Amino acid sequence: MADSSFDVVSKVDKMEADNALAQAHKEVEQRYDFKNVGASIAWSGDKVMMKANSEERVKAILEVFEAKLIKRGISPRSLDTGAPYASGKEFRIEATLKNGIEQDDAKKLTKLIRDEGPKGVKAQIQGDELRVSSKSRDDLQAVMALLKGSDLVALQFINYR
């Protein structure tokens, strides 16, 4: 019997992220605690730029955006946020959405599969994806459960055959 396999990826649906940003923008515009403080959230190229007149308010905008991402089914682990920094009279946070599994995270995932996963399961890094294969489908399902429990990156499983 041929080996069964699946791919582990980390992708963010751009349209869902755009919808979450639009909802966060709408809430920031309407909320009383964000009135007259220069609070805003918008795309700035590939990044999301959040601005407010104090560090606490810009962090509150980030929390609103993360809540909207969660409602849209996007893990907050796929959001890479920087620290708040002052720019003139306002504070800013830049955030990017991570697509693909980085090389060092992929190495950690393969090590996790080797150490804690069932015997006979092979994991190969293929660019920004990870292919996991085994003769037993039950072993593959055990690996899926193991990877869902790890908190390294937001993962999706595709091409299960």
- Do 62 and 31 have their domain in common? yes
Give the CATH number for residue 92: 3.30.70.990
Last residue within a domain, chosen from 48, 68, 97: 97
Q: Is the pLDDT of residue 6 over 60?
A: yes
Q: Is the pLDDT of residue 55 over 60?
A: yes
Give the number of other Cβ atoms within 10 Å of residue 74's Cβ. 20
Mean pLDDT of the chain: 88
Tokens of 129: 């994806």
Q: Is the pLDDT of residue 1 over 60?
A: no
pLDDT class for 94, splitting at 50, 70, 90? Answer: very high
What is the Cα 20 distance to its own chain's centre?
Answer: 13
pLDDT class for 28, splitting at 50, 70, 90? Answer: very high
Q: Is the pLDDT of residue 58 over 60?
A: yes
Among candidate residues 48, 2, 1, 8, the one with its CA nearest the CA of residue 160: 8
DSSP 39-93: -EEEEETTEEEEEESSHHHHHHHHHHHHHHHHHTT--GGGEEE---EEETTEEEE
- Do 91 and 114 have their domain in common? no
- Do 58 and 128 have their domain in common? no
Tokens of 18: 């755009």
Q: What is the pTM for the complete model shown?
A: 0.81
Q: What is the pLDDT of residue 9?
A: 87
- Do 107 and 93 have their domain in common? no
Last residue within a domain, chosen from 64, 80, 97: 97
Render pLDDT for 133-158 as a digit per residue (tens, 0 to 9): 989 888 888 888 888 887 777 788 88
- Do 113 and 80 have their domain in common? no
Q: What is the pLDDT of residue 2?
A: 64
Domain that holds residue 112: 4-11+101-158
Number of domains present in the structure of the chain:
2
Q: Mean pLDDT over residues 19-38, rounded?
A: 91
- Do 46 and 74 have their domain in common? yes
